[in-house]
Structure 1
Amino acid sequence: MQETSHTETPYTALGFYHKISQLRADTWNALTRDLGQLVRLKDESRMRQLVKAIDVKLTRLEIIEDYHAFPSKEDFRHIWSLFQRGEYDALDKVVRRLVRALISESYRRRHVDLSETDADDESLETLDALNQLRRGHPASNSAAQPYFELLIVDNCSAQEEEVVREAFHNLRRPEDRFVYDVVTVRSFEDALIAMLVNPNIQACLIRFDFPFKSKYNLSALRRYLEGLSEQSLEEQSEADRSILLSSMIHELRPEVDQFLVTSADVESTASRDLRHFKRIFYRETDYIEQHHTILRAIDDRFRTPFFDALREYSKKPTGVFHAMPISRGKSITRSHWAGHMIDFYGINIFLAETSATSGGLDSLLQPYGPIKKAQEYAARAFGARQSFFVTNGTSTANKIVVQALIKPRDIVLVDRDCHKSHHYGMVLAGAHVSYLDSYPLNDYSMYGAVPLHEIKKTLLDHKRAGTLDKVKMLLLTNCTFDGVVYNVRRVMEECLAIKPDLVFLWDEAWFAFASFNPTYRPRTAMHAARTLRDRYRSEEYRREYEAWKAEFDALDPDDDATWLERPLMPDPDRVRIRVYATHSTHKTLTSLRQGSMIHVYDQDFRQRAEAPFHEAYMTHTSTSPNYQILASLDVGRMQAEMEGFELVHAQVEAAMSLREQLYSHPLLQKYFRVLKNSDMVPAAYRESGVESYYDPVTGWNQMEEAWARDEFVVDPTRVTIAIGNTGVDGDAFKNEYLMNKYGIQINKTSRNTVLFMTNIGTSRGAIAYLLDVLMKIAKEFDYRWEESSRPERKIIERRVHSLTRELPPLPDFSRFHDAFRRGAETAEGDIRSAYFLSYDEENTEYLSFDNGELQAQMREGRDVVAASFVIPYPPGFPVLVPGQVVSEAILHFLQALDVKEIHGYRPELGLLVFTEGALADPPVY
């Protein structure tokens, strides 16, 4: 083994841990190709070049593999030995065998001995595949023991490391539910990098005796180690260093089970704050106790209480004398005509179909058994205090939360371009709505998000009007459909400084996956809520607040700049953390369609919200919920806890690979422009100054800086492409090119953009297919131009100009008509009264803007007021809500739209508006 490779050639590219698994796979494959050429070549000059290239690749791989159990350090010593002895034929066989084991993941199912040179792995892998086919699950690993890796942090010798690894290996039994291997690292930094680059790690044993510094140059840790120094860590006691490491591991990978091994006074150690350790072991504790404790901890996360109960129920011979003829499949199996349904779905889905809440099952409306336990596990996974399953989508989840917390005439601050379920939720709750305007991206016909300045100013308006006590909730979308993500913690902290008991509802329908990535997680609602609660309870924060308050009190409280131009801090004695998040689990994690969750981190939930929440839950939840959806939510939670880090990591890698190709390929750039961070977030909201996460020279190394500092960031897994240069609008491009020709599905477009979203199911093959399709489409546009006549080219040029230059500015919310406003000084409106006023036909009329009728009325001085929601799709946000005054800007926007689908608008009649008489003295509903 080449010891000099560690220090003389530090592999700083480990800093780009976002793409480490692709780098690992690609390097092994490149090494295989180099060795294949080397063993066939006779040209000595070319052979010397290949030997140097192989040396570089082995050096690179050794650093990466140092953090993985397979291949082991002993395996790598064997590889180096063969290389240094020039036994290239044997090395070629060993590496090919190793790569096959990595690709097929056969190392998870059986021991792969690389010291044996007879390569019979191909036949073993074929046997594995045949066995899976015989079980009827060619893509399933369900029959195999799930595999994970145990990280041990201990500054031990290589010999001691092998002894420990062998000791744990010898404890394996065929009846164990799981199988694991051991990875040992020798420093604080190495433990953190192992957590980042090795998703197989599910448990960690930390021993007291280890140094701080790694022998590698690990630039990936720069963000995580900010404020720490080698000297300060080395001066800490061994116990303090272990506790700090445990805390940092928890921030990176909260799902990982941690255990402390100490030779110190174990009783006094146990009395310290060891919240992230599941158990403390004395160093003399035998390995078998550690082994069983680790397996038991993994089993606790692997359980799926409701799914398991449903599977057990499906096996019982049950007589059905109640509703649902399809239960147990009876109405299908007895049918002469419907048997193809069983052929398609299989019998199990029918055996598990029931409306019973007994026999080991549970009631969603009043859970006491496996559903209750499954929801508790979900709360643990997502960092919530309580979690609730919803079987009819996040639209319903949003309405449940709003109805639970909002009474008629409570004021709610709402992002105007949020999902329509929120607008309808305001109608149902009778809220007085104050709409907040997001910053517009006029060049792409989409909105960004609501600036903090706008939110604070609205709260201050209510404070000065004496109505701040009526403001109950702030409702925002995080992240938006287009991928704009808030600095959630900063928004909540500064708003709570103005109104300490403000309730937050974060619609994270498209952001459920974010809880399982260390870069994304701090911008989730539940993580921010927990962080703020811990912060406000600390003495350190109290000292910070007192210093800030002394400085703040010296300023003019009536000057807007006092509040708007500087960060605000809430009073720790008054602040209450009341945070709710809704997740479309089915959109970004594993769940059947309409599987969603509500997550709660509300200090006042039990005292003030629990009873109305359950009433709202009863109101909107079916008494016959779909058990298959509930089971899928349970399994989806388990999968996210066990392998969410790995899957989300792969999702980010896939998106970055797609972006990288689109950024750099000349033909693709001609027609498709990927929107960067700077395209979607104006400079005023990018304190970091980062314009793009990717640089051709330095790679993907700026994302963390932006996500740590900026008011808004863009989720890189959402790839928005401007297609104006094609001359085809977004809706036509989606349907005529992507779907009809190539079977590629997307569901978000604007007038001149299309959105491609990667998810945890996106493979590298899928990315390659998409790039191939975009290449074919780009060539098609090239051929179209080459073969067009001069008049046809003018038509194309006009279309391109229309989609790149003639874009109507997005309209802001105009105002509620005075008939629906209850306060003269603030902007909120009674949307419920406006909505129900339109139910009486005599209160409304249609006015057409196509023939100028509506414009003429406006010129005569009439306030034309919308009587319904008007929602163009795309882009899918309401440009008018009931009670809103129609403005010139809104009319101009509607006239410029070239989409076919405008909900709430009837082209043959016009816009539905209120008659002037109806607005004279409307009733309050």
Structure 2
Amino acid sequence: MPDLGNLREGQQPLECHVALVSADRQLSHDWVSALNSTAAQHENPFGLKFSAVLPSAAERLLLKDDKLQALIVDAGVEAPGLSAAEELADRLHLVRAQLNVFLVALGCDISVSLRQRFDELFDRREGNFNHMFRLVQAFIAKRASTPFADTLRDYVFSARDAWHTPGHSGGDSLRNSPWVGDFYRFMGEHVFNTDLSVSVQVLDSLLEPHSVIQASQDLAAQTFGARQTFFLTNGTSTANKVVIQQILGGGGKIIVDQACHKSVHHAIVMNRCEPVYLKCTLHPDFGIYGPVRREDIERALEANRDARLLVLTSCTYDGLRYDLRPIIKHAHALGVKVLVDEAWYAHGYFHPLLRPTALECGADYVTQSTHKTLSAFSQASMIHVQDPDFDEFRFRENLNMHASTSPQYAMIASLDVARKQAAMEGYGRLERSLKMVETLRRAVDQTGVFRALTREDLIPAPLANDGIRLDPTKVTVDLSASGYTGKEMQIKLFDQYGIQVEKTTYNTVSVLVTLGSTESKLLRLVHAFKQLAQYPRRSVHPGSSRRLPEFTRLKCLPADAYFAETEELPLMDNGVQAEKHLVGRVSADEIVPYPPGIPVLVPGQEISAQIIQFLQQLLQGQNATEIHGLIFRSDEPLLRVMREQAVTGDLPGKNQPAPRPSIAGEEPSAVNQKKAV
């Protein structure tokens, strides 16, 4: 429970509301009066206050009262009231799934399934309101607990002498140093004294948790609606690799969105998977990768009955998310597991306008970057599991292969705390964020020069009937009428107004509205757009926006290309000359402009003139884009490509045919049928 005796100046005491949902006005009056009287007489660290609401007004209360933390649902005195109470509880769950819900009933004739829907039961003849108050308080306290973060804090404050790793020994190696003491003072005491090791057994083990880390993970599973949840301190990149290895370790066929994060493509190489790439939609005007058409996903599932895993990204970097339920249902009907990368959507479960999430739609595995949209430290992520065939022992072994044996304990604590905040005030925080989004979009549009893109703007025509939704907290601003490119606007906002945006395309900038967005930040951003709108300029960049290149085709397994005999060819080389040597060759590496981390080339993919020209454009000018996978020798960018004989399968010692990789909907070619390396 919170220590209210140590509230800092300006910090508000907690206030938690509990609503009794009942059509019985007499019971409501008696119980609410008794419970509030009890709260006044007992220790009440959460500031519990009880009120009554009619069933018909309960949903409106949930939307209105962000301090509401629990519901007591009265089933009445008639037996049919039990089913009505369950239906009401289900409807309320769709609005705010994190609240504790208790059932008030008469007698003991309650089914197991009904019992599982509620946290606890009260008899309508209950007279011990002290016990009822403590029980409600205990459930809220459990949800508000942070087992690992509390243990870490208590250990640090116990001031133990450190004769173990890490070498800075709680910061003692830096504190009084004339050379690096300034770094200690800049970072702060607790950055160092919370940086501990597995030698401290009271803090549990991330790779083999049994106590406080396991308790925190269990709370996270409950909070996010998963069967099991696992913490990671290596980011969602590692999370994706762990899940793919869990399903396809040693090889097998995987159906995957071509525009998935680069970590998915790395996992395909590492596990020698046979990919069936789904072509994502490319927005012709804004340089944005969209989702895959549902028709293409279903066709690929039907055509590849031996596939074992489908991987989709929802939502995308730009906020586009699938109507997942029918897709997952189709995959499961064919025996295919589903992994959804929700790196950009960890907040989705905590507001009704953002639901349903991938877990609610039936995904077997969901990976989330808790640090991207909630309050965890960078690299802090989670894997949520609800696979009915889940092999936990094997999963832990796969996790151990990728995770560090020296995790950052502050990251684990931040996952614990971010989970608590989402559970206790996620709805209220997101409600404020969504109001800021409305204000920002309206102000941007009112400039008459800039335009906040809507769902309809961002969805390419082929996706018009796929039920694609937009996460409104990701605001993409069209700059076309201003005469500035995305990079130029990014620099202007940073240099002139002290504002750092999330990402850019040729003619857009994107900002994230998060739990940490404030009215003052919003005021400064709106002011910047209004100021810049007064001075639009004639574009010095002729032509349309920079077009994203189409995915070409795979000539062999990505793993075979990556480990093949290769040569390095120049990418720039006066432009035309580079095209002459590179077009038609096979990339041995994953080439990834960053952000957003979506590959332009994957190992085994044929190189086209469009891809070469796109990469050359990214590297030109003063504001060149960061590109992962290129080789630089004497500042000259080079591409690693397979030698010609390697593509035809003539490498020594490689005489076994490999499975044919493919792009969904593509007919097998003669090249595809050749022996792989």
Normalised TM-score (structure 1)? 0.65
Q: Partners in 2 of 1:711 and 1:763 — Cα distance?
A: 32
> Taking structure 1 as reference, are residues 340 and 681 closer, same or farther at Cα in structure 2, changes over 3 Å only?
same
Match for residue 69 of structure 1? none
Choose from 653, 672, 694 the match for 2:450. 672
After the TM superposition, which residues 815-830 of structure 1 pair with which residues of structure 2 at under 5 Å, given as runs?
Answer: 815-817=553-555, 820=556, 830=557
SS at match of 1:625: coil
Choose from 126, 129, 132 the match for 1:285. 126
Q: Partners in 1 of 2:28 and 2:610 — Cα distance?
A: 71
Choose from 613, 624, 628 the match for 1:900. 624
> Taking structure 1 as reference, are residues 766 and 848 closer, same or farther at Cα in structure 2, changes over 3 Å only?
closer
After the TM superposition, which residues 465-476 of structure 1 pair with which residues of structure 2 at under 5 Å, given as runs?
Answer: 468-469=305-306, 471-476=307-312
Offset, 1:426: 1.4
Query: Does structure 2 conserve the Cα–Cα contact (< 8 Å) formed by 1:150 and 1:180?
Result: yes
In the TM superposition, what whole-angstrom CA distance separates every residue of 1:731-760 from its partner, at most 9, and x where no partner exists?
12112x111111111121111111111011
1:599 maps to 2:435: no
Choose from 190, 194, 197 the match for 2:64. 197
Choose from 558, 571, 574 the match for 1:850. 574
Q: Which stretches in structure 1 are left out of the alignment for 5+ residues? A: 1-108, 110-127, 211-234, 463-467, 530-577, 688-709, 786-795, 821-829
1:505 maps to 2:226: no
> Taking structure 1 as reference, are residues 368 and 876 closer, same or farther at Cα in structure 2, changes over 3 Å only?
closer
After the TM superposition, which residues 512-661 of structure 1 pair with which residues of structure 2 at under 5 Å, given as runs?
Answer: 512-522=346-356, 524-529=357-362, 579-606=364-391, 610-661=392-443
> Taking structure 1 as reference, are residues 443 and 163 closer, same or farther at Cα in structure 2, changes over 3 Å only?
same
1:154 maps to 2:29: no
Query: Does structure 2 conserve the Cα–Cα contact (< 8 Å) formed by 1:412 and 1:431?
Result: yes
Choose from 611, 618, 641 the match for 1:913. 641
1:738 maps to 2:605: no
Bigger relative contact order, structure 1 or 2 (CA pairs below 8 A, ≥6 apart): 2
Q: Partners in 2 of 1:347 and 1:849 — Cα distance?
A: 52
Q: Partners in 2 of 1:611 and 1:291 — Cα distance?
A: 40
Q: Partners in 2 of 1:756 and 1:633 — Cα distance?
A: 23
1:880 maps to 2:665: no
Offset, 1:162: 5.8
Match for residue 807 of structure 1? 545
Between 1:367-376 and 1:431-440, the stretch displaced more is 431-440
Match for residue 660 of structure 2? none
Matched length: 642
In the TM superposition, what whole-angstrom CA distance separates every residue of 1:336-359 from its partner, at most 9, and x where no partner exists?
555445544443444333214445
Match for residue 226 of structure 1? none
Q: Partners in 1 of 2:527 and 2:606 — Cα distance?
A: 48
Q: Which amino acid aligns with 1:650?
A: R
Give RMSD over aligned pairs. 2.7
Q: Partners in 2 of 1:900 and 1:329 — Cα distance?
A: 39
1:831 maps to 2:552: no
> Taking structure 1 as reference, are residues 892 and 461 closer, same or farther at Cα in structure 2, changes over 3 Å only?
farther
Query: Does structure 1 conserve the Cα–Cα contact (< 8 Å) formed by 2:348 and 2:354?
Result: yes
Query: Does structure 2 conserve the Cα–Cα contact (< 8 Å) formed by 1:749 and 1:875?
Result: no
SS at match of 1:258: strand
Q: Which amino acid aligns with 2:550?
A: D
Offset, 1:775: 0.5
Query: Does structure 1 conserve the Cα–Cα contact (< 8 Å) formed by 2:281 and 2:290?
Result: yes
Query: Does structure 2 conserve the Cα–Cα contact (< 8 Å) formed by 1:315 and 1:351?
Result: no
Q: Which amino acid aligns with 2:348?
A: A
Could you tell me the percent identity over the aligned residues? 33
1:719 maps to 2:468: no
Match for residue 759 of structure 1? 514
Offset, 1:174: 6.1
> Taking structure 1 as reference, are residues 846 and 258 closer, same or farther at Cα in structure 2, changes over 3 Å only?
same
After the TM superposition, which residues 123-142 of structure 1 pair with which residues of structure 2 at under 5 Å, given as runs?
Answer: 137-138=8-9, 140-141=11-12
> Taking structure 1 as reference, are residues 240 and 874 closer, same or farther at Cα in structure 2, changes over 3 Å only?
closer
More helix by share: 1
Offset, 1:584: 0.5
Normalised TM-score (structure 2)? 0.88
Match for residue 81 of structure 2? 238
Match for residue 88 of structure 1? none
Q: Which amino acid aligns with 2:463?
A: Y
Q: Partners in 1 of 2:62 and 2:606 — Cα distance?
A: 55
> Taking structure 1 as reference, are residues 401 and 161 closer, same or farther at Cα in structure 2, changes over 3 Å only?
closer
> Taking structure 1 as reference, are residues 168 and 412 closer, same or farther at Cα in structure 2, changes over 3 Å only?
same
Offset, 1:255: 1.4
Q: Partners in 2 of 1:271 and 1:747 — Cα distance?
A: 48
SS at match of 1:318: coil
> Taking structure 1 as reference, are residues 174 and 288 closer, same or farther at Cα in structure 2, changes over 3 Å only?
closer
Q: Which amino acid aligns with 1:721?
A: V
Query: Does structure 2 conserve the Cα–Cα contact (< 8 Å) formed by 1:656 and 1:717?
Result: no
> Taking structure 1 as reference, are residues 808 and 745 closer, same or farther at Cα in structure 2, changes over 3 Å only?
closer
Largest Rg, 1 or 2: 1
After the TM superposition, which residues 109-120 of structure 1 pair with which residues of structure 2 at under 5 Å, given as runs?
Answer: none
Q: Partners in 1 of 2:637 and 2:375 — Cα distance?
A: 44
Offset, 1:204: 0.9
1:869 maps to 2:590: yes
> Taking structure 1 as reference, are residues 243 and 849 closer, same or farther at Cα in structure 2, changes over 3 Å only?
same
1:774 maps to 2:532: no
Q: Which amino acid aligns with 2:95?
A: L
Match for residue 444 of structure 2? 662
Query: Does structure 2 conserve the Cα–Cα contact (< 8 Å) formed by 1:449 and 1:484?
Result: yes
Q: Which amino acid aligns with 1:678?
A: E
> Taking structure 1 as reference, are residues 874 and 312 closer, same or farther at Cα in structure 2, changes over 3 Å only?
closer
Offset, 1:885: 1.1
Q: Partners in 1 of 2:189 and 2:88 — Cα distance?
A: 49
Q: Partners in 2 of 1:514 and 1:479 — Cα distance?
A: 10
SS at match of 1:456: helix
> Taking structure 1 as reference, are residues 724 and 301 closer, same or farther at Cα in structure 2, changes over 3 Å only?
same
